[in-house]
């Protein structure tokens, strides 16, 4: 079955999907790491591929920027295509002094300023967290390749160009490691579908220190993150 956003048919997509924001990063991963990758989606140029990695069937697909976009793609993958695991692989802006450009952050939890959870009509505040088994495997994989990895809370923001200059200092004061724009919605979709999700992030810039990657480096240079995610995939 296809959707308005995905041309794949049932069975075209593996049980585990790597979900970078950038569809060109998905294409790069498929062509670099997967054996015999087959493209299952080109709708809106949100490229998706399925292939083999070390004997495991794995898919990789772009998810776009922001919670509305990743919310659509992850919801459809979980609920329409029988996907069990989604591993977000993306970039993030560092917030803490001991977080540096090209460090790996594994998002144990995702704080957010988004109202994404309103749809569940909960009598309180929902705390979006990662799947522990995926997180444990990712930490093991990261340490095995010598990655500089940190595990903890991240911030999933709805606004990239925020008019309030001190907003990120406030999140940093509560120990958030970095800021990105997707994990909270992914984790909520996984919880509601009783599926599994994890965010693995590479620090592409720092909000309080010098250093920033180019767009090309973000697209093709996150090899440690890509390899950790592929090793984590079931």
> Annotated catalytic sites, by residue?
205
Q: How far apart are alpha carbons 174 and 152 in whole angstroms? A: 11
Q: How far apart are alpha carbons 213 and 101 in whole angstroms? A: 8
Q: Give the pairing of strands 178-180 and 85-94.
A: antiparallel
Of 47, 8, 16, the closest CA to residue 31 belongs to: 47
Q: Which two tokens stand for residue 82?
A: 């029988």
Strand partners, 166: none
**Residue 150 to residues 1, 71, 141, Cα–Cα distance (Å):** 39, 25, 13
Contact 179, 171 (CB under 8 A): yes
Q: Which two tokens stand for residue 46?
A: 């949100």
Q: How far apart are alpha carbons 33 and 175 in whole angstroms? A: 35
Q: How far apart are alpha carbons 165 and 180 in whole angstroms? A: 16
Q: Which residues contact 161 (CB under 8 A, 6 or more apart)?
A: none
């Amino acid at each position: 079955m296809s959707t308005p956003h995905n041309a794949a048919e049932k069975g075209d997509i593996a049980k585990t999907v790597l979900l970078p924001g950038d569809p060109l990063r998905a294409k790069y991963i498929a062509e670099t790491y997967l054996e015999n990758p087959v493209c299952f989606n080109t709708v809106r140029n949100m490229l998706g591929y399925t292939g083999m990695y070390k004997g495991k069937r794995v898919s990789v697909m772009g998810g776009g920027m922001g919670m509305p976009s990743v919310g659509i793609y992850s919801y459809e993958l979980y609920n329409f295509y029988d996907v069990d695991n989604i591993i977000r692989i993306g970039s993030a802006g560092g917030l803490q002094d001991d977080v540096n450009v090209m460090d790996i952050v594994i998002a144990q939890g995702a704080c957010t300023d988004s109202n994404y959870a309103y749809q569940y009509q909960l009598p309180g505040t929902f705390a979006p967290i990662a799947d522990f088994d995926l997180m444990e495997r990712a930490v093991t994989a990261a340490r095995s390749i010598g990655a500089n990895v940190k595990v903890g809370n991240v911030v999933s923001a709805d606004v990239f160009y925020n008019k309030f200059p001190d907003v990120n200092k406030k999140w940093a004061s509560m120990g958030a490691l970095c800021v990105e724009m997707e994990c909270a919605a992914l984790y909520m979709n996984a919880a509601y579908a009783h599926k599994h999700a994890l965010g693995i992030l590479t620090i592409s810039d720092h909000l309080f220190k010098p250093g920033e990657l180019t767009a090309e480096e973000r697209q093709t240079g996150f090899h440690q993150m890509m390899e950790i995610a592929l090793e984590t995939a079931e």
